[in-house]
Amino acid sequence: MRSFSDRLQYSPGDRGTDIGTLRRSSAGTTIPAMRIQTGLATLLVSAALLPAVVQSQTAPQPSQAPAAARPSTATGEWPTYGGDLASTKYSPLSQINAGNFGALRVAWRTRTPDAMLSLTRPDGSEWTADSSLIFAELSRLDPARWRDNQPPLVQNYKATPLMVGGRLFVNSPSSVGAAYDARTGAPLWTYNPKSYEAGTTTMSLRWVQRGVAYWRNGADERIYWGTGDGYLVAVDARTGRPIDGFGQGGRVDLMEGLPGARRGARDYLNALTYSVQSPPLVVGDLVITPASISSLIKDKEQIPGYIRAFDARTGAVRWTYRPIPGPGEFGADTWRDGSNAYAGKVTVWTMMSADEDLGLVYLPTNTTAPDFYGGHRRGDNLFAESLIAVDLTTGRRVWHFQMVHHGLWDYDNPAAPNLIDVTVGGRQVRAVAQVTKQGFVYAFDRATGTPLWPMEERPVPPSDVPGEEAARTQPFPTRPAPFEAQGVTVADLADFTPEIRAMAEKAVEGFRLGPLFTPPSTEGTLMRPGTTGGANWSGASVDPATGLLYIPSRNAFAVNRVVPADPALNGNLLYMQVPGRSPQMPDGLPLFKPPYSRMTAINMHTGDHAWMVPTGAGDRIRTLPRLKPLNLPPVGGDITLAGPLLTRTLLIYPLTTGGTEGGPRLVAYDKATGAERASVDLPGPAAGTPMTYLVDGKQYIAITVQGPTPRTLPELVVFTLP
């Protein structure tokens, strides 16, 4: 077992200087380096924002931030998805505290922008109606428009709003953008690119949008977001009108220039092949876009996941970073048999972070397609499942670390890395911490890529699937300790009573059990954490004053099973992942020991866990007939994938139960201990991560929530003190 520092050596880099680069050759040895139609779109604008010939509305308009001021959480705004470029999800606001949190009241609420949509009729007129009616008509006009003939899932309202200049900006699952007065919720504008008319968004998680991005230069203010059909849209932040000088009519075709990408193409499941489902990152005058490219493929060839920075004014490409190295480039030897020529998907589907002072953007990449079988892409597959620091000026890689070699588990880096300044061993370090689905935090000097604590390459189980060659070792951080349960043994199974343990042992018969990184199998491998984590897109929050990292996670499992590809699909993969039976416990009993979800606070100065608490009492489990007599303590499990919000006074996090009538709520936790201090009812389960802002001296908290029933539309709900 060798530490990272034992394996350092110099190596030339690709596309620029490599600093702190760690890689492994295809032979499995570690080779580190330390070199210091817009025409079809619809626009709705409030009267106050139209030209002077239109009568202005009488409601007061939101105040505008001074032209020279830069939006910041320090001034009560929330200008990026994570609050700042460091993705801390932290605000210094303190008006709302433990003593008054329970008194919060709904200041305003508004339905998703997907509530009312429109359809352009053959005669050029516009029909606006309830979105369900619009979707029904679109489906009638083209029954093959959407995968499985399922219309957009408007309940997936997972956006975190931005607030700048007294206005909130969001987007919806159908890629509709909207702005609201931050005080009253009065609608200011709506822009509908109508991307849903093109087809179903790519990937298994369909119809997801997590937010927008904001840019300002003098009086020029813009909002950007990616669409489900693969465009980057730019609109005027004041009016919602597309920016004529940006791309073609206010949008850039993100499929243009991508090998193998063809607009209008469908995959074998009848979904689009390229989408954007997370917000771009705006750094200076650059707009850096993520991408979603499907892992659900029947052929080994897939679109590559280029990461591109666009000019914020014109939409012109400023640089392109290609996560799969080309011939002769650094890392090409980790793709055997020339597989780097046809493999694809390696990209960033989630959020990103940046350090403007260092001139670096941090890219958390995902798995190569397909996720669960790698016989057609043997080798470690750089730069999949890596954290990559890229020069903001040139787009060249500066350093990287690969968290998973030759991924077979869909262990994408799921969230924006958190930037935090810490003191480790008496030395001040500008650090970056990446939370992962597999339950690890990987921490580095964000300038050089040097790990804060040693990383160890440890042997992991081999694969016995024909043609597959799993990596012999995987990187394990020595600090911090895992924040979530990992791997499956009999000892991990529920043992509330001897009878329940016997049930659990019987339930896992016929499945393969093993430690973390046990490969897929033909009988089905029980994989823990599962494909949703551990941690997921909601990520973590950081307190810059204390150095504490707060991570919500779930104790979930998945069955990882591959079988010979169906010849009827006419593909060229040898094996494909398929759904199959899952271990079943009687009467709704859990298969594993609790907690089933948790919040973990980690001191990033030392790498020690400060505290851990289950998130939620878990009464749906504790009150099961076989468990109720045991009077169990809280077991967790009362969460969605929404993330945490941190203020100067509180850790704020949504739960699905525990409200005054047993329903969902927003909870305030003590940052130092994890003790619950207060809560306020939510009108539906949280969908997005909350944010906070200040307008006219008054603090607000905003969050998107699902409807209380499947037929109820989701809402953006904003709280404040009476």
Instruction: Mark 257-272 as b/e (b = at least 16 C-beta within 10 Å).
Output: ebeebeeeeebeeebb
Question: With 90 as the cut, is the pLDDT of residue 44 above it?
Answer: no
How confident is the model over 519-561, as pLDDT tens digits? 999 999 999 999 999 999 999 999 999 999 999 999 999 999 9
Which of these, 540, 276, 544, 532, lies nearest to 417 by C-alpha position? 540
Query: What is the distance between the alpha carbons of residues 108 and 104, in angstroms, rounded to a whole number?
Result: 12
Strand 608-614: give its sheet, edge to edge. Answer: 541-543, 548-554, 597-603, 608-614
Query: Whose structure tokens read 């997801």?
Result: 208
pLDDT band at 42; cut points 50, 70, 90: low
Query: What is the distance between the alpha carbons of residues 616 and 557, in angstroms, rounded to a whole number?
Result: 19
Using CA atoms, how far residue 36 sits from 3, 7, 15, 445, in Å, is: 20, 16, 15, 13
Give 612's Cβ-side CA count (13 Å radius): 18
DSSP element (H, E) containing 360: strand 360-364
Strand 187-192: give its sheet, edge to edge. Answer: 42-45, 187-192, 177-181, 167-171, 162-164
Of the candidate ranges 47-61, 93-107, 513-527, the one whose mean pLDDT is the lowest:
47-61
pLDDT band at 205; cut points 50, 70, 90: confident
Other C-beta atoms closer than 10 Å to the C-beta of 9 total 9
Extract the tokens encoding 583.
Answer: 């271990």
Query: What is the distance between the alpha carbons of residues 268 and 273, in angstroms, rounded to a whole number?
Result: 10
% of the chain surpassing 90 pLDDT? 89
pTM of the model: 0.92
**305, 290 Cβ separation under 8 angstroms:** no
- Give mean pLDDT, residues 496-514: 98
- 454 burial type by CB count under 10 A (0-12 exposed, 13-18 middle, 19+ buried): middle
**232, 287 Cβ separation under 8 angstroms:** yes
How confident is the model over 581-624, as pLDDT tens digits? 899 999 999 999 999 999 999 999 999 999 999 999 999 999 99
Query: What is the distance between the alpha carbons of residues 567 and 645, in angstroms, rounded to a whole number?
Result: 49
Q: How far apart are the first and last CA of the chain?
A: 59
How confident is the model over 137-191, as pLDDT tens digits? 999 999 999 999 999 999 999 999 999 999 999 999 999 999 999 999 999 999 9
Query: What is the distance between the alpha carbons of residues 345 and 499, in angstroms, rounded to a whole number?
Result: 46
User: Which of the two residues, 692 and 581, has the higher pLDDT score?
Assistant: 692
Hey, what amino acid is at 704? T
Of the candidate ranges 362-371, 686-695, 709-718, the one whose mean pLDDT is the lowest:
709-718
HEC assignment per residue over 410-471? CCCCCCCCEEEEEEECCEEEEEEEEECCCCCEEEEECCCCCECCCEEEEECCCCCCCCCCCC
pLDDT band at 263; cut points 50, 70, 90: very high
Question: With 60 as the cut, is the pLDDT of residue 55 above it?
Answer: no
- 125 burial type by CB count under 10 A (0-12 exposed, 13-18 middle, 19+ buried): exposed
Instruction: Mark 639-670 as b/e (b = at least 16 C-beta within 10 Å).
Output: bbbbbbbbbebbbbbbbbbbbeeebbbbbbbe
| pLDDT for the residue numbered 43 | 55
Mean pLDDT of the chain: 91
- Give mean pLDDT, residues 8-21: 35
pLDDT band at 580; cut points 50, 70, 90: confident
DSSP element (H, E) containing 179: strand 177-181
CA 640 to chain centre: 13
DSSP element (H, E) containing 252: strand 251-253
Which of these, 142, 134, 188, 140, lies nearest to 161 by C-alpha position? 188
| pLDDT for the residue numbered 1 | 40
pLDDT band at 709; cut points 50, 70, 90: confident
Q: Going by DSSP bridges, is the β-strand pair 645-647/90-91 parallel, antiparallel, or unpaired?
A: parallel
Other C-beta atoms closer than 10 Å to the C-beta of 336 total 16
Which of these, 315, 294, 297, lies nearest to 305 by C-alpha position? 294
Which of these, 722, 683, 690, 689, lies nearest to 706 by C-alpha position? 683
Query: What is the distance between the alpha carbons of residues 251 and 232, in angstroms, rounded to a whole number?
Result: 5
| pLDDT for the residue numbered 36 | 28
Tell me which DSSP letter residue 139 carries: H
| pLDDT for the residue numbered 41 | 55
Extract the tokens encoding 547.
Answer: 């150095």
Query: Which phi and psi (to 5°) does residue 344 adopt?
Result: -150, -170
Which of these, 439, 463, 280, 305, lies nearest to 369 by C-alpha position? 305
Q: Going by DSSP bridges, is the β-strand pair 286-289/281-283 parallel, antiparallel, or unpaired?
A: antiparallel
Query: What is the distance between the alpha carbons of residues 332 and 334, in angstroms, rounded to a whole number?
Result: 5
- Give mean pLDDT, residues 483-509: 98
Hey, what amino acid is at 272? L
- Give mean pLDDT, residues 111-122: 96
Number of H helices, E strands in the chain: 3, 43
Which of these, 438, 439, 421, lies nearest to 429 by C-alpha position? 421
DSSP element (H, E) containing 503: helix 498-507
| pLDDT for the residue numbered 579 | 85
Tell me which DSSP letter residue 323 carries: S
Query: What is the distance between the alpha carbons of residues 94 and 647, in angstroms, rounded to a whole number?
Result: 7
- Give mean pLDDT, residues 256-281: 96
Query: Which phi and psi (to 5°) does residue 691 adopt?
Result: -140, 170
% of the chain surpassing 70 pLDDT? 90
Question: With 50 as the cut, is the pLDDT of residue 15 above it?
Answer: no
User: Which residues does residue 388 pair with via DSSP β-bridges, in sequence order?
Assistant: 363, 400
| pLDDT for the residue numbered 31 | 33
pLDDT band at 52; cut points 50, 70, 90: very low
Query: What is the distance between the alpha carbons of residues 72 and 553, in angstroms, rounded to a whole number?
Result: 28
